[in-house]
Amino acid sequence: MSKDLNQADLISGEVPADLGEEIGGKGRVYFENVVIDNLIDAMLELAGAAWAHHDRVLVLEKVLEKKGIAVTDEIEAHLPDGDELAARAAERDAYVERIFGSFLRRPTGDLPGRSDS
């Protein structure tokens, strides 16, 4: 990994070009094996998604608590209608694609200095 990666790069979302090239599809190169790269991409996406959801739940619980609203029983009793189920399914599919989409990348064998065969 590049020693030039700094906090500003992480905050801006910009990744220095010397950190890697794409192989057979979108994605970063971290190691010499595309399978390991795919696992790292999935792990990073999962970690980010898990924290974002956890943080939102914590904030929501605090906001509701301050307003004197107890929601635990209502959440457990909620029965979604067809439209809500369809919307959830679409969101779930997009979530799965973000997390596991990197597993669709395959080695192309045309990167200099990389042996994926």
Average pLDDT along the chain, 117 residues, taken 10 residues at a time:
48 54 64 82 88 91 88 84 96 86 67 52
Query: Is-above-0.85 flag for pTM?
Result: no
Q: How far is CA 36 from CA 12, 28, 60, 99, in A?
A: 25, 11, 36, 14
Looking at residue 112, the DSSP 8-state letter turns out to be T
* Token pair recorded at residue 110: 């045309």
- What is the domain partition of the chain in residue ranges? 1-30, 39-103
Please give the pLDDT value at position 82: 96
